[in-house]
A and B are shown apart, each in its own frame.
Chain A
Amino acid sequence: MIWVNAIVEGLLLGGLYALFACGLSLLFGVVGVINLAHGDLAVLGAYVAVAILPSTNTNALWALLFLPVIFAAFGYVSQRTVLQRSLDSGPLTTLLVTFGLSVVIQNALLEGFSADSHSLSVGSLTTSALHVNSTISISYLRLGILVVAIVVLAVVQLFLARTSTGRQIRAVADDGEAAAISGVNTRHVTGIAASIAFATVAVAGLAYGMYSQFTPTSGSSLLLFAFEAVIIGGLGSLWGTLAGGCVIGLAQTIGAQIDPTLGILMGHLVFLAILVVRPNGLIPARANA
């Protein structure tokens, strides 16, 4: 029965990873940026919440009201300045620039907040759980995160599918040049895509902060998990990233059930195994070699 618990936990964790992966997928699919600073941006969001919220006991859910908006603006500006510029220089440059920014963010956070771990309070939500039966209990917080992840994915998906701006975003993702000759202001549209991606990162960072302790260097592992989710789920499909996130989450929780130290390793091994087994290798839609 503990296995059922592990499976449930894994699926819930998948929601969190999907939240991370969503922004990553948007940034790469639309903007063409491989954002190696993605995990650190989420952690940055969590730290911003720590800084802005009046006290450590304030329920961090309040941060959901303002943090995504701040990050959306931050994302738009970043895209139109730094990221666009690095894209113009070539795919190699964006990798290096975002990696460099990752290091700068991590160390700036270390300077600002020290290496101590923090966490975001959600009051009684932290420990309350739904007790299905004597052995299976589902944490309301984690369930909430999964629900939020699904809602965010659904909203982004609807936005992309139904709105004019969403259509323009999809057009740019398909073929930026063709979009331009159709009248789409690609610079502005990629900025919008980036701001959506950054907003999701803010939500993901808050969720992570509520879910677990975090330190300035937590972002690196989050980045890997998010990328693994995107690669497994397939680029271009937001629901695929949810599936991918669940695969990673399940691997981690089942691994941890076998042996507490095995969790993260199992996730990585499953990812590498999938890489090996896929017969043609993985060729994402916008492979930049």
Chain B
Amino acid sequence: MTDASPVLVAAGLTVRHGQLTALHEVSIDVTPGEVLAVVGANGAGKSTLLRTLAGLHKPAAGTVTLDGEDITALHTDKRVGKGVVLVPEGRRLFPSMTVEENLQVGTTNRRAGDWDIDRVFELFPWMRDRRRQKTDHLSGGEQQVIAIGRALVANPRVLLLDEISLGLAPVIVQRIYETLPAMLSDGMAVLIVEQDVAQALRVASRFQCLLEGTATLAGKPTDYTSEQVEAAYFGFGSAAAS
């Protein structure tokens, strides 16, 4: 833990999808150097939270602040320039483009910093060999890593990882998470959304539980037993404070 003041702060976010309220007055913050895991069941609002932080959803209420600057109304691409970068659920690589081109698009509005395409190739050497291949020929795990690489080359201050384990074998997921420390250059904050609670709590320094759009249990993984987290995840009993 280097810097104690949070880099990204979301306060009282309420997001609606048509008639459904996906997030209800959710507040969250993340400090540089930490890994914050947002856990919850399907439909809890985790992805909506990340997407709202990235600028893909407009909140009906609440604010998003980056280093004290209000970015609530800022377009998604501008947020990338400020250092808030999302690795979306389902990877969303560009199917008509090669590995290298996907990474190149990621540099469109990059911040100055240590990360560039070469450094991503150093971290994942196999990518350099395949860089002229179309991405749809690659496995799910490889695609996920490329998607992460695409985000890294923008030099994020806050990296948002949305369900990177989805559709991948557990051993692959583990390997990806093992490279997480290498990705965390000094000062980067990471927000991960995971359905696999055990995996999330293994890598996270803090966690936040969401239940049906509301923030419930939060804290350090070591502060709670797995039963307590499970209860909060499913919304049982006293742990489900609203």
A and B in contact, CB less than 8 Å: yes
Instruction: Please report A residues at the B interface, Cβ cutoff 8 Å.
Output: 164, 167-168, 170-171, 173-175, 177-187, 236
In the assembled complex, how far is the CB of residue B116 from the closest CB belonging to chain A, in whole angstroms? 14
Given A181-B85, A182-B150: A175 and B92 interface contact (C-beta under 8 Å): yes
Which residues from A are CB-within-8-Å of B92?
175, 177-178, 181
Which residues from B are CB-within-8-Å of A174?
94-97
Q: List 7 A-B contacts (CB under 8 A).
A: A167-B97, A167-B101, A170-B96, A180-B75, A181-B92, A182-B105, A183-B108
Bound: A185/B104 CA distance, A: 15
Check if B109 sits within 8 Å of A183, measured CB to CB: yes
In the assembled complex, how far is the CB of residue B99 from the closest CB belonging to chain A, in whole angstroms? 13
- A165 nearest CB neighbor, chain B only: B108
Instruction: Please report B residues at the A interface, Cβ cutoff 8 Å.
Output: 54-56, 75-78, 80-81, 85-86, 88, 92-97, 101, 104-110, 150-151, 154
In the assembled complex, how far is the CB of residue B67 from the closest CB belonging to chain A, in whole angstroms? 18
Given A167-B101, A177-B56: A184 and B96 interface contact (C-beta under 8 Å): no
Given A185-B77, A185-B109, A186-B77: A178 and B154 interface contact (C-beta under 8 Å): no
Which residues from B are CB-within-8-Å of A186?
77
In the assembled complex, how far is the CB of residue A289 from the closest CB belonging to chain B, in whole angstroms? 19
Which residues from A are CB-within-8-Å of B54?
181
Check if B94 sits within 8 Å of A175, measured CB to CB: yes
Given A164-B104, A167-B101, A177-B56: A184 and B109 interface contact (C-beta under 8 Å): yes
Check if A167 sits within 8 Å of B106, measured CB to CB: no
Which residues from A are CB-within-8-Å of B151?
181-182
Check if A168 sits within 8 Å of B108, measured CB to CB: yes
Check if A181 sits within 8 Å of B94, measured CB to CB: no
Bound: A175/B78 CA distance, A: 18
Given A180-B77, A181-B85: A171 and B97 interface contact (C-beta under 8 Å): yes
Check if A184 sits within 8 Å of B77, measured CB to CB: yes
How many A-B contacts at CB < 8 Å in the complex? 76
Which residues from A are CB-within-8-Å of B108?
164, 168, 182-184
Bound: A183/B86 CA distance, A: 10
Bound: A189/B21 CA distance, A: 32
* A183-B85, A183-B108 known, 5 other contacts, Cβ within 8 Å: A180-B55, A181-B56, A183-B81, A184-B105, A185-B75
Which residues from A are CB-within-8-Å of B78?
185
In the assembled complex, how far is the CB of residue B134 from the closest CB belonging to chain A, in whole angstroms? 11
Check if B97 sits within 8 Å of A183, measured CB to CB: no
Which residues from A are CB-within-8-Å of B93?
178
In the assembled complex, how far is the CB of residue A95 from the closest CB belonging to chain B, in whole angstroms? 23
Which residues from B are CB-within-8-Å of A164?
104, 108
Choice from B105, B110, B150 contacting A168 with Cβ under 8 Å: B105
Check if A183 sits within 8 Å of B104, measured CB to CB: no
Which residues from A are CB-within-8-Å of B75?
180, 185, 187
Check if B94 sits within 8 Å of A171, measured CB to CB: yes
Most buried by A among B55, B56, B76, B110: B76
In the assembled complex, how far is the CB of residue B121 from the closest CB belonging to chain A, in whole angstroms? 18
Check if A181 sits within 8 Å of B109, measured CB to CB: no
Check if A183 sits within 8 Å of B96, measured CB to CB: no
In the assembled complex, how far is the CB of residue B55 from the closest CB belonging to chain A, in whole angstroms? 8
Most buried by B among A180, A181, A185: A181
Check if B94 sits within 8 Å of A183, measured CB to CB: no
Which residues from B are CB-within-8-Å of A182?
80, 105-106, 108, 150-151, 154
Choice from A167, A173, A187 contacting B104 with Cβ under 8 Å: A167
Bound: A175/B81 CA distance, A: 19
Which residues from A are CB-within-8-Å of B96?
170, 173-174, 236
In the assembled complex, how far is the CB of residue A169 from the closest CB belonging to chain B, in whole angstroms? 11
Bound: A186/B77 CA distance, A: 8
Given A167-B104, A184-B108, A186-B77: A178 and B94 interface contact (C-beta under 8 Å): yes
- A183 nearest CB neighbor, chain B only: B109
In the assembled complex, how far is the CB of residue A202 from the closest CB belonging to chain B, in whole angstroms? 27
- A186 nearest CB neighbor, chain B only: B77
- B80 nearest CB neighbor, chain A only: A183
Bound: A288/B150 CA distance, A: 29
Bound: A171/B109 CA distance, A: 14
In the assembled complex, how far is the CB of residue B23 from the closest CB belonging to chain A, in whole angstroms? 19
- B108 nearest CB neighbor, chain A only: A183
Which residues from B are CB-within-8-Å of A171?
94, 97, 105
Bound: A37/B151 CA distance, A: 39
Which residues from A are CB-within-8-Å of B86?
181
Most buried by A among B78, B80, B105, B109: B105
Check if A181 sits within 8 Å of B88, measured CB to CB: yes
- B111 nearest CB neighbor, chain A only: A183
Which residues from B are CB-within-8-Å of A177?
56, 88, 92
Given A168-B108, A175-B92, A185-B109: A180 and B97 interface contact (C-beta under 8 Å): no
Check if B56 sits within 8 Å of A167, measured CB to CB: no
Which residues from A are CB-within-8-Å of B81?
183
